Structures are given as structure tokens and as C-alpha cells.
Amino acid sequence: MPELWVQGAVSMGDVAIIVKIMPESPEVDREELKAAMRAAVPVNDIREEPIGFGLVAIKAVIVVPDKAGAPDEVEAALQNLPGVGSAEIIESTLV
């Protein structure tokens, strides 16, 4: 059977990732950190999750194009923000 190529008929989808961001310490201003996150990457939703001893993790939902390296770029951008101790992709799904 011959192959059929239709330009523009098939497009890449998007990937929704959930990133868990741990501030460096409980003293980090979470509102400033959230604002910096929104400025750095296209954040769709942000939630806080109490961890203990005053430390609160931030979970962000971010939708990126389904292309190689896109989730890693987001993770690296968040990791480099001031006040971030760690940023880790904890879940991803096609949308």
C-alpha cells in the first residue's frame, strides 16, 4: 500500500506537566516565587502543598508543545529561579 502524506493534517499535540517546586527555605516569599514562575513559563494553574515544619511545596500545571526537550526546558527554567531549591516533573500527560 502506498504511503499518503497530507501536509498539515497531522500536528503535534500538547503535553500537560505537573512540576513540584520546593523553595530553598520556609522564608522564601511564595507569592514572589509564583509571580516569577508565571513570568518564566506558561503556567496554567498553581497550588500549594504543605510539607511540614513550615515548608510548602508549589505544584504548577504547565502545558507545553509535544516536542523533544520541551518539558526539560521548563524544568530547567524553574530550577534557575531565585528561591527555588528544586524543581521536578512529577507527572505528564498528553492533552
pLDDT digits (tens, 9 = 90+) for 43-94: 999 999 999 888 999 999 999 988 888 999 999 999 999 999 999 999 998 8
Q: Coil, helix or strand for 47? A: strand
Q: Judge whether 76 lies within some domain.
A: yes
Q: Judge whether 19 lies within some domain.
A: yes
Q: What average pLDDT does the segment 23-31 reach? A: 94
CATH value at residue 86 = 3.30.70.60
CA atoms of 18 and 90, how far apart (whole Å): 6
Counting the structural domains of the chain, the total is 1
- Reported as a single tens digit per residue, the pLDDT across 3-17 is 444 444 444 688 999
Quote the pLDDT of residue 13. 84
For residue 48, how many C-alpha atoms fall within 13 Å in the half-sphere facing its CB? 12
Q: Which domain holds residue 37?
A: 14-94
Extended beta strands in 1-95, E state: 14-23, 43-52, 55-65, 84-94
Q: Judge whether 4 lies within some domain.
A: no
Q: Judge whether 33 lies within some domain.
A: yes
Q: Judge whether 83 lies within some domain.
A: yes
Quote the pLDDT of residue 12. 66
Q: Judge whether 9 lies within some domain.
A: no
CA atoms of 77 and 40, how far apart (whole Å): 7
